[in-house]
Amino acid sequence: MKIIVTGGAGFIGSHLVDSLVEERYTVIVIDNLSTGIKSNINTKAEFYKLDIQDKRIQSIFQKEKPDIVYHLAAAINVRKSIKDPLQDIDTNISGSINLLEASKLVQPKKFIFVSTGGALYGDAAVIPTPEDYEIKPLSPYGINKFSIEKYLYYYWKMFGLNFTVLRLANVYGPRQNAKGEAGVIAIFCNQIFKNIQPVINGNGLQTRDFIYVDDVITALKLVLNKGDQGAFNIGTGKETNIKTIFEKISHLTNSSFSAVFNTKVIEEQRRSCLNVDKATRELGWTPKVSLEDGLLSTVNWFEENIN
């Protein structure tokens, strides 16, 4: 089976590529390296350095004729999407539609889209939040991700393009980029090992659902053969506030830093936590890695790879 992975030089994408290569799939990576790192790409994967908005994508799809398309390439910085919504539209909507147009021509068996759960439901009244909760994103990033979910339905109904959507919680783990579009765990690890005072946005009591990258990769591979035309939350169903994350990382790193808060920063949402019962029921998926084990693995990786 031949598989295209967009964003395959990035954090989640490179872990997915490694796992697919290990299972002897033929893997093609498309990444513009704007945030991805070339050294992350498995040497057994073919690599095209290309932006997903580039019209040459169609010729690559026609040449490679993929059986599966995993679409992970995205602008993922929520605050940047608020500051520059037009740029977020260019990457997350226009780029995605370019990929769908290319897929329409070659008709892969499935188009698997990595959406967001953390930014999709806004400040939900139901925690953990299920997939059928009203969509109320509080950022252009969340709006644009949901737009592509709707485009996927359109391309399925009109052109027969099979799809599955995974709505991810806050993913963390080794290789997460600690710059620009990083998650808070990567940022804290990077700063502590560089002896830079971490700063917690807001009062630190805002919660997120933190899921380790290996559990996400398991879900991504399960939907190769399951979950057609479905959207599934992928998280832990557990809330953890940012102050607690800082304290856990400080303990694991023996850090002497105390918590410092920047209360001037506007927070996107107060609480985020995903109900994953549907993924358990229909995909046979459950998260396996505890927050403690995941943080330890992540801290160890950053300690060994800090530069």
Which residues are tagged catalytic? 141
**CA terminus-to-terminus distance, the chain:** 37
Cα dist from 114 to 24, 232, 269, whole Å = 22, 10, 21
Collect all residues with Cβ–Cβ distance below 8 Å to 258 and sequence separation of at least 6: none
Q: Quote helix, strand, coil % in the chain, to nearest 5.
A: 40, 15, 45
DSSP tag of 205: -
Radius of gyration of the chain (CA): 19
Q: Can you spell out the DSSP letters for 263-281? A: TTSPPS-S---B--HHHHH
Q: What count of other Cβ atoms lies within 10 Å of the Cβ of residue 270? A: 14
Cα dist from 42 to 12, 178, 211, whole Å = 13, 21, 23
Cα dist from 187 to 96, 115, 172, 301, whole Å = 28, 22, 11, 13
